[in-house]
Amino acid sequence: MAPIIDIHTHLFSALDIPIEGYLRSRRSEKSTLSNPEYIANFFPGPQIFKYLADRMRERVITRQIKKDKLGPFYKFLLCVFEKIMEQHIREWEDSLTKTLARNASDLQKIWPKVDLYIPLVIDYEYWFSNTMDTRIDDQIRLMYEKVILPSRGKFHPFVPFDPVRELTFQDKLMNPDGQKEDISSLKLVKDAINEKGFIGVKLYNSLGYKPTGNKDTDEGKDRITQLYRWRIGVRNEKMLYRFDGNRMDDVLNKLYAWCEKEEVPITAHCMMHGIEAYPQASEHFGSAKFWRDVLDKYPKLHLNLAHFGWNPVPGHGYHAQDNWMREIVDMICKYDHLYADVSHHEVTSRGIRKELVDAYKKIQNDFESSLDKIRQHILYGSDWHVLRRMNNYESFMDRYIEIMAETGFYDEKSQDDFLGLNAMKFLGLNPGGQNRARLESFYKTHKITPPPWFQAAND
């Protein structure tokens, strides 16, 4: 039996992320009046964001006490947002106001065929103004107690690493709550992987740090990266955390070296737009090509560039300058342990679906001689619950399988690679893999019978 693995999901609630700061970070001077990013600048934009964020955070609690109805004003605002953004905001709100455990149960109901779900925990606290309510170490503990242990092998998440939290800890500075930072990001990662059933690390470059090369080479002439980081400091009220680029690289290198040695896979957000420190931060910090230097230095590191470098704006498909899919395919040909997941591709909207079909056809033309290798390095992933904003999100998996069959990228036989077997390699879960050994002892310690997908890998 080949397993089905969803390599990219989320379970977080509005209490786990600085939600108001994120909403406000989207403000932009560039756009027109029809654009919510522009409207966010002026009264009552910021006030509305604050109200929405407060209400969402409160509802995570009240929904656990009683059946909390939306309320007419809140519902009205959500509807207005839906109209402006042309996304199903009320659907997403439903997940953002539920606990980890309830979200985990919802997810299993939508795609019950999936054998293993990988929720990615994220650490946004040091990049957006205001703070989150649940400390990141509590989020890890809750994930362990409320999701990993009860699921008995159905959920194994990725733990986030944040270089700025690590440096703040090292320098004994205040965290955004005004307390001395007592969490080492690196220690948090190691503990989650070694003791708590987590199986990988999540990085988020669009928040404001490059995979490496955070120090500008020529001060004065080329201080671009540093200036972009200062911009985040000013915009998002985080001036305290402008660490030297060399030090950011140092702690990131420590992480990469440890992950390579221990065979711990990394997933890095790699898409234009999406959640980012300011509009376009993804381009300045998270471009796929920035990973080349890391992979040259750590050739055995297992890396997944999430979202396949896709640009979700219509008309910016495979051939566009600001679409990194082609670059990633080129990198997959060169590096042996680089993967890309297809999460959050809008396969249920007709226009984008056409662009994706076109992309998979063109890859087969452009990289004809390396197709076998490329097919071994693409991973199925949904990006649920963020995906709930999309039309007909429930059909995401079926639509993707359909596109792969239609373009001839995967036929019925090789479809197993896409849906799970490639992920088994990326995750190091086949016999001999270090993650497999860690899970074996985790199951033993907690008296969990290894799940069928885990046992099947022995056959």
Binding site for Zn ion (CB under 5 A): 383
Judge contact between 384 and 344, C-beta under 8 A.
no
Q: Cα-flanking dihedrals φ and ψ of residue 144, to 5°?
A: -65, -50
Instruction: Give the nearest residue (CB) to Zn ion.
Output: 383
Query: In the bound complex, what is the minimum distance in angstroms from residue 120's beta carbon to Zn ion?
Result: 6
Query: In the bound complex, what is the minimum distance in angstroms from residue 12's beta carbon to Zn ion?
Result: 10
By C-beta, is 269 or 399 nearer to Zn ion? 269
First to last CA, the chain: 9
By C-beta, is 304 or 323 nearer to Zn ion? 304
By C-beta, is 275 or 439 nearer to Zn ion? 275
- Taking CA atoms, 214 is separated from 32, 290, 292, in Å, by 33, 10, 14
Query: In the bound complex, what is the minimum distance in angstroms from residue 366's beta carbon to Zn ion?
Result: 27
Report the 10 Å Cβ neighbour count for 373: 14
By C-beta, is 39 or 118 nearer to Zn ion? 118
By C-beta, is 164 or 203 nearer to Zn ion? 203
- Is omega for the bond preceding 284 within 30 degrees of 0, making it cis? no
Query: In the bound complex, what is the minimum distance in angstroms from residue 224's beta carbon to Zn ion?
Result: 27
Query: In the bound complex, what is the minimum distance in angstroms from residue 10's beta carbon to Zn ion?
Result: 6
By C-beta, is 383 or 417 nearer to Zn ion? 383
Query: In the bound complex, what is the minimum distance in angstroms from residue 147's beta carbon to Zn ion?
Result: 17
Query: In the bound complex, what is the minimum distance in angstroms from residue 387's beta carbon to Zn ion?
Result: 8
By C-beta, is 381 or 450 nearer to Zn ion? 381
By C-beta, is 208 or 274 nearer to Zn ion? 274
Side-chain-side CA neighbours of residue 51 (13 Å): 14
User: And the tokens for 163?
Assistant: 């270089």
Query: In the bound complex, what is the minimum distance in angstroms from residue 306's beta carbon to Zn ion?
Result: 6
Alpha-helical (H) ranges within 30-128 are 36-39, 45-65, 72-85, 89-96, 100-110
- Is omega for the bond preceding 44 within 30 degrees of 0, making it cis? yes
By C-beta, is 93 or 383 nearer to Zn ion? 383
Q: Is 117 left (phi over 0), alpha (psi -120 to 50) or beta?
A: beta
CA separation for the pair 368, 102 (Å, rounded): 45
Axis-axis angle for helices 350-366, 325-334 (nearest 10): 30
Closest by alpha carbon to 306, among 393, 201, 399? 201
Q: What share of the chain is helix, strand, coil (3-state, %, to 5)?
A: 50, 5, 40
Query: In the bound complex, what is the minimum distance in angstroms from residue 412's beta carbon to Zn ion?
Result: 29
CB burial of residue 162 (10 Å; 0-12, 13-18, 19+): buried
Residue pointed to by tokens 């270089």? 163
By C-beta, is 241 or 308 nearer to Zn ion? 308
Alpha-helical (H) ranges within 223-378 are 224-235, 245-262, 281-285, 292-297, 325-334, 350-366, 371-375
User: And the tokens for 412?
Assistant: 């019925």
Query: In the bound complex, what is the minimum distance in angstroms from residue 159's beta carbon to Zn ion?
Result: 15
Q: Cα-flanking dihedrals φ and ψ of residue 425, to 5°?
A: -70, -45
CA separation for the pair 354, 189 (Å, rounded): 40
Query: In the bound complex, what is the minimum distance in angstroms from residue 384's beta carbon to Zn ion?
Result: 9
By C-beta, is 274 or 450 nearer to Zn ion? 274
CA separation for the pair 49, 203 (Å, rounded): 26
